[in-house]
A and B are shown apart, each in its own frame.
Chain A
Amino acid sequence: MKISLKPVTLGLDTDDTDGRLVFLDDRLVAVLSRLTELHGPMAGLWCIEAGFGIDHRGETFASLDAAVTWIEQRSEERDHDPGKDRSNEDRSNEVRSSEDKGNEDHGNQGREPN
């Protein structure tokens, strides 16, 4: 897995517009922002604004490196999470047991890619 960063300007109403898109191989996994003076003692930290497939809660990091390391760890945990496959299995059982064909189609479309 290769991680790469792409600088972007975030469309936030505040000054926290210095952002990075974080890619894992060719998948976008997170969006980071650099916090400005508005955040007092947290100014200068990097904050996870959005995560895709990563359980986050707006964590902050002293450096981009620290943020990237955390994101990598979270992604690895997710890839090794035995519950992940089981939840997909459960959901497909639900769809199969449904008598409503329309629901089944909808369920298949809505299923997350592995």
Chain B
Amino acid sequence: MAGLDPLIRTLEARGTLIPLQKEAIARLKIVEREYRPGEDLIKEGDYPRSSIAILKGTVFRYRIVGEGRRQITAFHIPGDLPDLQALFLKRMDHSLAAASESVIAAHIPHDSITQLLDTDPLLAQLLWRLTLIDAAVFREWIVNIGRRDAVRRTAHILCELMFRMRAVGLAEQDSCKLAITQTHLSDALGLSLVHVNRSLKELREKKLISLRQGLLTIHGWKALVEIADFDPAYLHLK
């Protein structure tokens, strides 16, 4: 695997790419950079001149509200373009940070992306589709945080992450690496750390999941999906 392969896999999980398009993506000039766990990739208020494609690790979007409370609004995995919207919106209205492992990200200059979009309307449509899917995920998170109890909420996010990891070939059978801590889950789900602990314990005791040393395994898909009220339709995977 090299360069922007994770991005190509992500695009192929959501649409169709012909060999010429893959070659055009592979030819994009990129600058790779490594980020320490917790380090910001981009800060709220920045005006990025390149877009990030995650090559390795997990990134989360967040905002800090009064008294320093953090709300995580999305997790992003290899192949995702978490700040593509800055191509048109210019100013970042939230920050992006590396989760609990170091992250490698490719910076693709906005000029190169714009050029690609100008010459390939079908690829432009596919990238548009990616940002629409991001919006669908945000909607589902609002539903999850607003209307599901702690256990269902926790189960739902685990289902989502496993589905997305699988779609880009980052899960082996029913296991995937989950480079996020319970504090990240707490900030993403709007639950206290104590409630996340209790929810995970309940799911473990029902033998639905195990979460050891950053490895998430789902043992009881059917029951977990039922508890979570999870329908992957909002992920719009092929």
The chain A residues found within 8 Å of chain B, CB to CB, are: 12-14, 16, 35, 38-40, 42, 47, 57-60
Q: Is A58's CB under 8 angstroms from B194's CB?
A: yes
A42/B202 in contact, CB under 8 A: no
Asked if A39 and B192 sit within 8 Å, CB to CB, the answer is no
Contact B198 A58 (CB under 8 A): no
Q: Which residues between 161 and 211 of chain B lie within 8 Å of chain A, taking CB atoms? A: 191-195, 197-198, 201-202
Give the residue name and chain of the A residue nearest to B197 (CB). Answer: A39
A58–B189 CA distance with the chains assembled, in angstroms: 13
Residue of B with least CB distance to A38:
B201
Which residues of B are in contact with A by a Cβ distance under 8 Å? Answer: 69, 191-195, 197-198, 201-202
Residue of A nearest to B190 (CB): A57
A residues within 8 A CB of B202?
13-14
Bound-complex Cα distance A38 to B193 (A): 12
Q: How many angstroms from the CA of A38 to the CA of B69 in the assembled complex?
A: 25
- In the bound complex, residues from chain A placing their C-beta under 8 Å from that of B198 are 12-14, 16, 38
A32 shortest CB reach to chain B, Å: 11
> Cβ of A16: which chain B residues have Cβ within 8 Å of it?
194, 198
Residue of A nearest to B151 (CB): A13
With a cutoff of 8 Å between Cβ atoms, the chain A residues found around residue B192 in the complex are 47, 57-59
CA gap between A16 and B195 in the complex, in Å: 11
**CB < 8 Å neighbour of B195 from A42, A58, A59:** A58
- Are B193 and A58 interface neighbours, CB within 8 A? yes
With both chains docked as a complex, state the minimum distance between the C-beta of A94 and any C-beta of chain B, in angstroms: 23
Q: Are A60 and B194 in contact (CB under 8 A)?
A: yes
Q: How far is the CB of A103 from the nearest CB of chain B, in Å? A: 24
When the two chains form the complex, which single residue of B69, B194, B201 contacts A47, counting CB atoms closer than 8 Å?
B194
28 residue pairs bridging A and B, Cβ less than 8 Å apart: A12-B198, A13-B198, A13-B202, A14-B198, A14-B201, A14-B202, A16-B194, A16-B198, A35-B194, A38-B197, A38-B198, A38-B201, A39-B194, A39-B197, A40-B197, A42-B193, A42-B194, A47-B192, A47-B194, A57-B69, A58-B191, A58-B192, A58-B193, A58-B194, A58-B195, A59-B192, A60-B193, A60-B194
Most buried by A among B191, B194, B198, B201: B194
| Distance in angstroms between the alpha carbons of A60 and B193 in the assembled complex | 9
What separation, in Å, do the CA atoms of A35 and B197 have in the docked complex? 11
Interchain CA distance A57-B196 in the complex, whole Å: 12
